Structure 1
Amino acid sequence: MSRRRIALGAVAMLLSGLAACGIPGESDVRIDGKGPVADAAPADRPAARPPGRTASGSDPETFAKNFLTAAAGEAGEAYKRVNEYILEGARFDSKAEKGDINVVRVEPGGIQVTQNKDGTSKVIVTVQQVGVLRANGSIGEPVQQDTSYSFVVGAAPTDPGPGGGLWVLEKPQVLLMTDDALQDYYQEHTIYFWNTNGTSLVPDLRYLPRTVPVQRHATAVLEWLTGGPSEWLKSAVALPEGTSPVGNVPAPEEGGRLEINLAVKAGALETERDLERLFTQIVWSLRTNQLLDNELELKIQNQSKMIEVAADYRRDNPLYELDGAAARYGVFAGRIYPLTSPGEPNPVPIPAAENHDIVTAGLSRNRDDVAVALVVRDGDSLRLRTGTGPGVASSLLTSEEKYDDISRPVWLKEALIGGPVGLVVAEGRLWTFTAGNPRLTRVSFSGADLSVTAVAASLDGNRIAFVSGGRLYVAGVRPIDGGLNVELPRQLATSLHSLSAVDWFGENLLVVAGLDGEDAKAINRINVDGTLESRQIRYVSAAPVEALAADPTFLAVRPLPLTYEANEVAFVSDTIITRSQVAPGAGEPPANANSATASFYLY
C-alpha cells in the first residue's frame, strides 16, 4: 500500500526561484521574502543561433540533429530558418506560417539513419511530444500525436559534390524542434498575472530567444503581458481591459530610467491601488531585465503615473513571506520530531499532548501563524486533524469521517480569501479542507472528473500538480461556492512512466517520481510546462516512491534537500533519515524507531 495513499498498516536545481504574491498598500495577504534569482544572460552570446545547414559537412546524423534545431529563434522567421535546410521545391509554405513550433523530446537512440541505394539517407526520429512553442513564448499542449517522423537527406541533384553539403530532400510534415534546442537557444523568463481574487500573482513561464537584443527585452515582456496568460492559466487575470503598449520601450542610458508607456481603456484604473497593482505586476515581470537597474517609470497615455527605484520597490513589495529557512521534520514512531537544520532547532508546531499516532502531516507558515494538517491513526482507520495558531496550532479539530487511505496533506497558503486551504487525496479522489474545518469537500474539475493519486501545491497558491492514472498534470485552481475548482488540467510530457509522487521544487519546477525507460525507479526534475527534464535521483529502494517533499524556497534562502518516502522509510537523497538526524534537544525517539517513516517541511 503506497504512502501516497496511506492505509493503516502501510507506513512509509534550479531554474527559477519563487512564486508570487506581493501587494502594495492594504491587502488580504502580505507576502514577504526574497524574490527569484535572476537568470538573465546576454542576448547575443556565442552560439545564440543554431548551426547553419553546411555546419554538419557530409554526416547525415549530425545534419539531422542540426536540422531539428533550425526553427529556434524569433517566431516570425521560424519557417525561413527551417527552409534554409530544405531543397527548393520541397520547402514549407511560409504563407501558412503562424509562428508555432512543435517541440519534441527525442527518445534515447531515437535518431536512426539508413543509407539508400541512390546515396541519400532516410532519417527516422522517434520522439515524445512536449508541446507547441507559441509566438508569445509560451508552451501550449501538443497538437500532434505522432511518435516518429521521417525525412530524407542528401546532396542536391544539381550539386552532388561535397562542397554543396547536405539538404533535406523530403521534409517531415510539420515544423519540429527538440527540447534541447529550447534549452540551448532560449532563456526562461517568468511574467506574472493577478489571480481572480486580486490577492496574489500567478507565475507564467515564457521563453525568449537568445537572439533578441537586450534593448528589446522589455518590449517583448509588455507584449506578453498585454496578450494575456498562457492557455492553462486562463483563469488568471490579465492586465486592465484595453491595455496595450504605446510604441517600443526605449532603452535608457546606463543607470537611467526605464520608461513603460501604456494605453488603457478609460476607467480601467479607477483607484490608486489599481495603478499600484499594475506597477507591481510589471516591475516583477521585468525583474531580470538588464536595463532596469535603477528607476522604472509607468506612463498611461504618455502621462507619468509612478516612478520607483525598481530594486527598492521589489524589496518593499516582495514575493514571499519567508521568515528564515524552511524547517525540516520527520515522523518517528507516530511522533513529529524536528530534524537537523542550520541554526536553532525548530519547535514542533503542535502541543506535545497532540503529538502521537501521526502517520504524516502538512505544515504551512502564514506570517505569525502556522497551519497544521495531521493524518492520524484511529483504530483500523485514519482521520484528518487540522488547526492553526500563532507559532503553534494549539487547538486541533478532528474529522468525523474515517478513511482507509489518505495522502500527506498540502496547503495552498493564503492565495485564497478566508485563509489557507488544504488539499489531500483520499479514496482515489482529490479533496479540500481548511484549518478550521477538517471535513473533506470534493474538488471540482473543469471537464471530465479525474481520479488522483498524488497532489502538490505551488507557493503562490493558484496552481497545483497532480498524478492521475500514472500521468502528470498541472492546473490552475479557483475558489467556487466554498469549494475549489481545478481549471483546465494539462498533461505534461515526461520520460518517466507509472508516476507515483510529485512536488514543487521552485517557482516553475517540479520533481516527479516514477520509472524510466529501463523500468528503473527515478526522480526527475521537470519544468511546469513539461520541458527541460533532467535526472534528480536514480534511487535504489525496491519499493516505489510514495511521497516527495521538496523545499521550493531553495533559491531564495538556504537550500534544504529533497526527501522521499518508500516502503515505510523516509530518505534524503539516497540515505535513510535516521534518529541521528533528530535535532539536538528535541527529545529521543523510542529505541526501536531507528528511521523516519515520513518527512516534510514547514515554510
Structure 2
Amino acid sequence: MRSKLVILLVAALVAVTGCATVPSGGDPIDYTQVADPGTQVRETTPADGLSPQEIVRGFVAAGARIDQDLPLVAARSYLTDAAKVSWRTDQGGVMILSASPRYDVLTGPSGAGDTVQLSGTSDGYLASDGSYVPTPRTEFTVAIALVQVNGEWRIQNPPEQLILSVSDFNLAFTQREVYFLNHAGTLVVPDRRWLPNSSLSPGTLVSRLVDSLIAGPSTPLIGAVRNSLQGARPRVPITATADGVLQVDLTGLPSLTAAAARGVAAELVYTLRLDAARIRILVDGTPLDANQAIWTTGVLGSFDPDGVPGSGPTSTVGYYVTDQGAVVNLRGVPLSGNAGTGELAAVSAGMSAATGDLAVVGGPEGAQTLYVGAPLAPEPMEPRLTAQTFTPPSFSRSGDEVWTVINGATSPEVVRLLTDGSRYPVDSSSLAGLGPVTGLALSSDGARVAVVADGGLYLASVIYADDATAGGDSGGGSGVATVGVPVRLRNDLTVRTVLWSNSLNLLVAASDPASTYRAVWRIGVDGRQRSALSTRGIVADVDAVGATGALPTLISSGGVILQLRGDDSSGDWVPVDPEGATAVGRWPLYPA
C-alpha cells in the first residue's frame, strides 16, 4: 500500500472543485487506488525557434495549469533533461504575484542572452503544505539560466517555486479546511489549505485531506492546537460503503479515553463534512467508540466553533453604545443598572452570549476604566481595571474571560481578565514594535487573536502553557497564554476595527487606496481573500461593525447605527428601527 503521509507539495495538493459527495449505492470504492488523471498527460515539445524569453514565459504558463496537469509534465518540457529529473517544488511551494510577471533578458557570460530575469510584486505564497503565508509586499526576482539543446533553448535551473499570478492562482486553486482541536480539546480550529481545482475523483480529495490532517497543523498554529491524529495512518484504504457511509480505519493511535476518541472523531468529521455526511471510524478494525457506529456533525455539534453559545434573550439581541455613553438595545431601550444610564461614559462594549455578562470601556482616552457585570441584574457594574486606554473588550466563548489591550499607544499589553476581576498571565511581548494597538478580537476557539495596530490587520496564534489547568470552551485555564508572532494579513487595507464574523472570516471597518471612505470588508482567516460588503446607504466612514451568525450586520457610520438589509454584496444599509428615531451611537454589538 502506498505511503499515506503527504510530504510533497504535488502529493498534498490534489483536489476537486466544490463539494464532493460520497456514492449512495453500488460496490465499495477504494479511495486510495483511484488513478490520477494528471499522470496521463503526455509531454509535448515546445515549438522550434523560441527565444529564451518565450521559453520562460511558456514554462510559467504551463505551471499555471497545475489544476489540469498535476505532475507538471507540460512545464517540464521546457527544461533540460537533467532539470526534468531534478526539479522539485516540494520546498518552495507557490509564489503568487499580484500581476503577470515581467521577463527581462540578461546577457550571460556567453554574451548570448542566455539568462531571463523573472520579477513581480508579491503579497504572499503557498507553503508546501498548501497553507497561505501572507508577507509584506516585496519585489520577487529570480534569474533563470538557459542553455541550447540541439539548437533549442531549454531551462537548466528552474525555480523551486511554482510562479503564478493572482488571476491564474484564483482559477487554479480552491480552499478547504482541515480541523484540529483547540487547547482545551472542546472545539475544532480551522486550518485553511489551498488545493488545485483538479478533475480528480472525490475519493482522492478525501484521502489527501486525511493525509493533511495526520501531517499536522500549518506553521502558525503549531503549539496553539492539538492534533489527535498525530502518529496515525490509514490501516486499510479509505472506502465509501454501499449505504453511503465513508469508512476510515486508522492505526498507530494510542489507547483512547472516551473524550479523546470524540476528539479524533471531531477532527475527521469536520475536515470531511463537505465530502461525507456520515463517517464510520475504526481503529485497527474496531469501532472508535463501541457506542457510536456512525459519526456526524450533529453528534459532534458541541465541537462547532461557530455554534452560538447560550440560549437566553441576550444571545439574539443587538445593542449599541449611544453618544451619551449608555448601552441600549436596537430599539433604544437602555440596559438595566448603570450600564444603561450613561453613568459609565461607555465608548465601547462587549457581551457574552454564553453568560450574558457585559464588559464596558468607559471614560476618555488617558483615563479609562473597564467595567464587568450582569447588565440584566439590578446590581451596578463594578470597575475591574483602569488604564490609559483599552481596546474594545472581547469575551472568550465560555464567557468567563475578557480579553483587551491596555495602553496600546505606548506599551501595549494584552489583559486576560476573569469576570470576577482576577487576571491570568499573558505574554504579549510579540506586539511590541507594531505601532499603536487599537483593536483585539479573540476567536471563538481561543486559538487566535486578530489585532489592529497602526492601521494594519494582524493575526497571531495563542499558545497556552502545557501545565494550564482546564478552562472553558476556548480558554486555557490559569497557565500563561503567549501571543505568537503577529502576521499582517493584508497590505492593501487601513483598518480601524475588527471582529470575527465566524471561525473562517473577519469583518473590518477599513479603507483601501481606491476608497473614498471606510467601508466593511470580509477577510479570510489566512488573509488570502478579501471582499467588500455593500456600500449602499453609507454616506460616511464606517467606524465599527457588529455581527454574529445570521443576524443583520450592524455598523456605526457618521454617528448613526445602521443594519444591512439584503445580501452582503448588494444589500442596503438602513436604520435599525425603521419606525423609530434615528439610532445615534458609536459602537454596535451582538453577544458573542
TM-score when normalising by structure 2: 0.71
Instruction: Show the 5 A alignment for 1:272-287.
Output: 272-287=258-273
Which of the residues 400, 409, 414 maps onto 2:393?
409
Equivalent position to 1:185, from 172, 185, 188: 172
Structure 2 residue matching 1:280: 3-state secondary structure: helix
Structure 1 counterpart of 2:531, one-letter code? S
In the TM superposition, 1:91-490 aligns within 5 A as 91=83, 94=86, 96-98=88-90, 100-107=92-99, 111-112=101-102, 125-134=119-128, 136-140=129-133, 146-149=138-141, 174-211=161-198, 212-235=200-223, 236-239=225-228, 242-253=231-242, 255-267=243-255, 269=256, 271-289=257-275, 292-293=276-277, 295-306=278-289, 307-308=293-294, 310=296, 312-314=298-300, 319=305, 320-321=307-308, 323=311, 326-332=316-322, 333-339=324-330, 350-351=336-337, 354-356=340-342, 357-366=345-354, 369-377=355-363, 381-388=367-374, 395-399=380-384, 401-403=386-388, 405-414=389-398, 419-428=400-409, 429-434=412-417, 436-438=419-421, 443-445=426-428, 449-451=432-434, 452-479=437-464, 482=478, 485-490=481-486
Over 3 Å counting, the alpha-carbon distance change for 1:245 and 1:179 in structure 2 is farther
Q: Return the letter of the residue paired with 2:96.
A: V
- 1:40 has 2:19 as partner: yes
Q: For the Cα contact (< 8 Å) 1:362–1:409, is it kept in 2?
A: yes
Q: Return the TM-score normalized by structure 1.
A: 0.70
- Summarize deviations over 1:124-170 as a string: whole Å, max 9, x none: 54222313332x3323466x98513367899x99799xxxxx98798
User: Percent identical across equivalent pairs?
Assistant: 18
In the alignment, is residue 509 of structure 1 matched against residue 517 of structure 2? Answer: no
Gap regions ≥5 residues in structure 2: 1-16, 23-33, 469-477, 565-569
* Structure 1 gap ranges (5+): 1-37, 161-165, 340-344
Query: Contact (CA 8 Å) 1:432, 1:484: kept in 2 or not?
Result: no
Residues 323-343 of structure 1 show CA distances to partners (whole Å, capped at 9, x for unaligned) of: 49853322223222322xxxx
Give distance in 1, aligned partners of 2:348 and 2:47. 55
Give the stretch that moved more between structures: 244-253 or 445-454. Answer: 445-454
Q: How far apart are the structure 2 equivalents of 1:444 and 1:385? A: 23
**8 Å Cα contact 1:425-1:455 kept in structure 2:** no
3-state SS, counterpart of residue 147 of structure 1? strand
* Distance in 2 of aligned mates of 1:55 and 1:536: 45
The change in CA–CA distance for 1:534 and 1:401 in structure 2 (over 3 A counts) is closer
2:76 aligned with 1:83: yes
Tell me how far apart the structure 2 counterparts of residues 198 and 350 of structure 1 sit (CA, whole Å): 36
Q: How many Å separate the matches in 2 of 1:99 and 1:410?
A: 38
Provide the secondary structure at the position in 1 that maps to 2:237. Answer: coil
2:12 maps to what in 1?
none
Q: What CA distance in whole angstroms lies between the structure 1 residues aligned with 2:142 and 2:384?
A: 58
Q: Which moved more, 1:454-463 or 1:507-516?
A: 507-516
Corresponding residue of 1:563: 555
Letter of the aligned partner of 1:459 in structure 2?
Answer: S
Q: CA RMSD in A?
A: 4.8
Q: Which whole-Å CA distance do the structure 2 matches of 1:539 and 1:484 have between them?
A: 45
User: How far apart are the structure 2 equivalents of 1:95 and 1:468?
Assistant: 41
Contact 1:42 1:210 in 2 (8 A): no
Q: C-alpha separation between the residues in 2 aligned to 1:350 and 1:577?
A: 29
Deviations, residues 96-129 of structure 1 (Å, cap 9, x unaligned): 442641332415xx64567999999978542223
When the two structures are aligned, how many residues end up with a matched partner? 521
Equivalent residue of 1:313, what SS? Answer: coil
Shift of 1:526: 2.7
Larger RCO (CA within 8 A; separation ≥ 6): 1
CA-CA distance at 1:361 after TM superposition = 0.8
- Report the Cα distance in structure 1 between the residues aligned to 2:180 and 2:590, rounded to whole angstroms: 27
SS of alignment partner, residue 406 of structure 1 = coil
Deviation of 1:67 after TM superposition, in Å, equals: 4.5
